[in-house]
Amino acid sequence: MRNKIKFLFILLTCAFAQVAFGQTNPNYPNNPNYPIQQRINLRDTGKAVKQITDDQLLDSLRKKQDHKRDTVIFTAKFIRITNERLLRDSTQLLQLDTTLTNFEIYSPIFSVKTPKITLGYTGTAARDLLFNPSKTIGFDAGLHALDPYMLNPEDINYYRARVPYTSLYFISGGISEQMFKATHAQNINPQLNIGFNLDFAGPKGFYSSNSVLQQNVNYTNIGAFGWYESKNKRYNLLANILYNNLKSPETGSIQNDSIFKTGSIDKTSEPVRLAHTYENWTNTGIYLKQFYYIGHLDSVKKGSGSVLPTQRVAYTLNYNSHIYNFIQNDPDTYNVFPDYYYAYNRSRDSLSVGHLQNDFSYSFYLRNKAVSIIKNEVKLDLGLTHDYYNYTQYVNDTTLNQYGVKVVQQQKVQGASFQDITLKARFSYKFSNRIGLEGDFQQIAQGHDAGDYLYDAKVTLAGGEKVGKITFEGYAQNNTPALVYTNWISNHYIFHNSFKNPKTNSISFNYINPILKFDLKVEYFLINNYLYFNAQTGGNDATPTQVTAPINLLKVGLSKTFTWRNWQFDDFLVYQKSDYQTTLRTPQFYNFSSLYYKVLMFKVLYSNIGMNVRYNSQYLAPSYAVGLGQFYNGTNVTFSSYPIASVFFKATLQHTNFFIMYDYVNQGLFSQGYYTVNRYPQMDRLLKFGVSWSFYN
């Protein structure tokens, strides 16, 4: 309409111009009515000038207008995002998050609420600092040291993009810390969106020799994904193909166990116990999830894209292949390993696990005709999952070939194939928008892990934004011991054990008040038949051990945000206490605090200037078993504990977020460095830079 008005205005202007010049001398050379052939052309080049009609003039103006630069500025509001969890019950879409909240917390090992202990830096073996039990049942190989860096189907985000969307994320701390991430998504048509994820990291840390490639972390995550939604919004298809390749050094740490007392001129020249030994994990998977809505469809808000079905059927196909390789290329001069069963100077331990899963489910929803009124809303999910596993374990061994010559090659030492059938049911009942009841029940009814179960129940009481929300939750879990505890064969560790199933019972209370920005969670755990790795005093012979007595653990987490003018203080505090503190080696206190000042600089740069401080109380530090990939209770060593502070400046400008951070800025104030794992010094202070670019075109 605006363009039509412009064209009409131009035509009227031309018409009025003709009337205005109608009283001038018709013989005047510049008179528009003077015959074109008789006009005096002061810039005549000898070429005839073509006369333009009114229609041609209108076409020229329209063409010029159509080729003007588009005045629409595309931003994050044109992009909607979802994931499998949000699509579990209905079609839910969220706006893209482009805020600066925790933007400088780029690594999973520095996560605010789930911090990790590591072998020194991002990409090396890691384990939760706090007690966080896994709520899974069924077969488990038991190797999880590199899990924080793995890209899994549940980590994939799916997009609905009105314009192509690209995000580039780069982190640099010199050669000690390097990461790059890229995400792209675009709609092929209104129903189909495709995209990809690329993650690369190659940090070298502080104690790796620049000339030894095997001491460097190198991991690659590649994922291609797609989301199709039919025009009638009844059928949805989620698909992704993933590839992970993680290489992490297994150096046995540096030889100098007093590095922070004796110092070092050049830390990259510090000799390690194993210079050319490393872990290499690869994972390839394909994931397809289809669901179809039956019956009446409700929409939460017109134009939001969110759809509430009354019935739903779903089918999921998931196949992945994990290969865990341990490569030892060094003689064990410094007694890193407890024993040798096949070869002394060379190890090629490998575990290959294939997993094929088929999942079927049916969902039934019963709600009021008025979607905005939540009262007596019932939802029931019934499902069946079939899992097929096969695993094979190899080691390097010396054998005689067909010519009678001794050769070293990989030998299969064990393997098995089996299946599980799991029955699932989920139930929820909302009395109103204030009171809700949920239940989740999983039971392996037949197969290798028959008897495993996970029963979870939750009650929610909400009193509005000012009053807040209270959630009571409890669960009971019974799961089969992992393969690494019961049946493991490698060059340095062989286990054949029969353990009882570990059982965990938990109850929790959670109070959240959004207005006060307050979150309190109290959890109690009763753990029976707890499994862990233990060793003799001063030894490195990590051995699976089971605690037959029950273990009690109390965990209290408090999160609070304080705001005063442009100042903001975020604090997360955890207290946990068990009656087996020497077995569950975690600190009693953990605190993460962030204090920053918000300011608008140069009228365009939204900025935060502040400091992050991490602190945990002293605890018995665990050791790490090279070649097994497990943290274990070794030598009883307690390290001094001091706060770790980082100062930062982060800002956003249009489509770009960036930060500059000086990590561990207080090194040398209380101590010269710190440990979280026995014998593995953590990173020194480091200036880091990170930038994220978003493109909407």
Q: DSSP labels for 75-133?
A: -GGGEEEEETTTTTTSB--EEPP---TTTT--SGGG-SSS-EEESSSTTS-EEESS---
Average pLDDT, stretch 140-154? 95
pLDDT at 292 over 80: yes
- Contact criterion met (CB below 8 Å) for 68 and 80: no
Same domain for 392 and 435, yes or no, is yes
Average pLDDT, stretch 651-669? 94
Average pLDDT, stretch 657-664? 96
Average pLDDT, stretch 131-140? 94
- Residue 42: other Cβ atoms inside 10 A: 7
Confidence of residue 621 (pLDDT cuts 50, 70, 90): very high
Average pLDDT, stretch 411-419? 95
Same domain for 51 and 136, yes or no, is no
Same domain for 236 and 319, yes or no, is yes
Average pLDDT, stretch 182-195? 95
Burial label for 650, CB within 10 Å (0-12, 13-18, 19+), is buried
Average pLDDT, stretch 131-158? 95
pLDDT at 42 over 50: no
Q: For 10-19, 233-242, 276-285, which range has the lowest pLDDT when averaged over its residues?
A: 10-19
Our CA dihedral for 338, 340, 344, 350, rounded to 10 degrees, sits at -100
Q: For 65-79, 195-209, 276-290, 448-462, which range has the lowest pLDDT when averaged over its residues?
A: 65-79
Same domain for 194 and 142, yes or no, is yes
Confidence of residue 126 (pLDDT cuts 50, 70, 90): very high
What does the pLDDT read at residue 521? 97
Is 71 part of a structural domain of the chain? no
Same domain for 479 and 592, yes or no, is yes
Same domain for 84 and 22, yes or no, is no
User: Where a domain ends, among 66, 100, 118?
Assistant: 66
Is 298 part of a structural domain of the chain? yes
pLDDT at 444 over 90: yes
Provide, rounded to the nearest whole percent, the portion of the chain with pLDDT above 70: 86
Is 139 part of a structural domain of the chain? yes
The type of residue at 200 is F
Task: Please tell me the chain's helix, strand, coil percentages from 3-state DSSP, rounded to the nearest 5.
Answer: 10, 50, 40
Same domain for 32 and 176, yes or no, is no
Average pLDDT, stretch 577-606? 95
pLDDT at 696 over 80: yes
Three-state DSSP at 358 gives: strand
Average pLDDT, stretch 626-639? 94
What does the pLDDT read at residue 43? 35
Same domain for 56 and 114, yes or no, is no
Is 148 part of a structural domain of the chain? yes
Average pLDDT, stretch 538-552? 92
Q: Which residue has the higher pLDDT, 77 or 151?
A: 151
What does the pLDDT read at residue 304? 56
Q: Which residue has the higher pLDDT, 193 or 92?
A: 193
- Contact criterion met (CB below 8 Å) for 380 and 398: no
What does the pLDDT read at residue 650? 97
Confidence of residue 300 (pLDDT cuts 50, 70, 90): low
Same domain for 467 and 582, yes or no, is yes
Same domain for 564 and 596, yes or no, is yes
What does the pLDDT read at residue 515? 93
Is 427 part of a structural domain of the chain? yes
What does the pLDDT read at residue 370? 59
Three-state DSSP at 637 gives: coil
Same domain for 40 and 166, yes or no, is no
Q: For 52-66, 299-313, 615-629, which range has the lowest pLDDT when averaged over its residues?
A: 52-66
User: Where a domain ends, among 66, 87, 108?
Assistant: 66
What does the pLDDT read at residue 376? 80
What does the pLDDT read at residue 53? 54
The type of residue at 4 is K
Average pLDDT, stretch 291-308? 73
Same domain for 102 and 39, yes or no, is no
Average pLDDT, stretch 223-249? 95
What does the pLDDT read at residue 309? 84
Is 223 part of a structural domain of the chain? yes
**Per-residue pLDDT reduced to its tens digit, 452-491:** 999 999 999 998 778 999 999 999 999 999 999 999 999 9
| Total domain count, the chain | 2
What does the pLDDT read at residue 307? 78
pLDDT at 29 over 80: no
Strands (E), 146-191: 157-161, 165-172, 178-189
pLDDT at 154 over 60: yes
Q: What is the mean pLDDT of the chain?
A: 87
Nearest to 387 by CA among 427, 424, 440: 424
Average pLDDT, stretch 23-29? 38
The 10 Å CB-count burial string (b at 16+, else e) for 419-454 is ebebebebebebeeeeebebebebbbeebbbeebbb
Confidence of residue 207 (pLDDT cuts 50, 70, 90): confident
Nearest to 252 by CA among 352, 143, 338: 338
Dihedral pair phi/psi, residue 23, rounded to 5°: -95, 0
Is 520 part of a structural domain of the chain? yes
Q: Can you give the CATH number for the domain in which 175 is found? A: 2.40.170.20
Q: What is the pTM of this model?
A: 0.86
pLDDT at 689 over 50: yes
Domain that holds residue 257: 76-696
What does the pLDDT read at residue 458? 97
CA distances to 98, 394, 603, 658, 690 from 693, rounded to whole Å, are 10, 45, 20, 9, 10
As given in the structure block, the two tokens for residue 229 are 């939604």
What does the pLDDT read at residue 11? 43
User: Where a domain ends, among 13, 47, 66?
Assistant: 66
Confidence of residue 365 (pLDDT cuts 50, 70, 90): confident
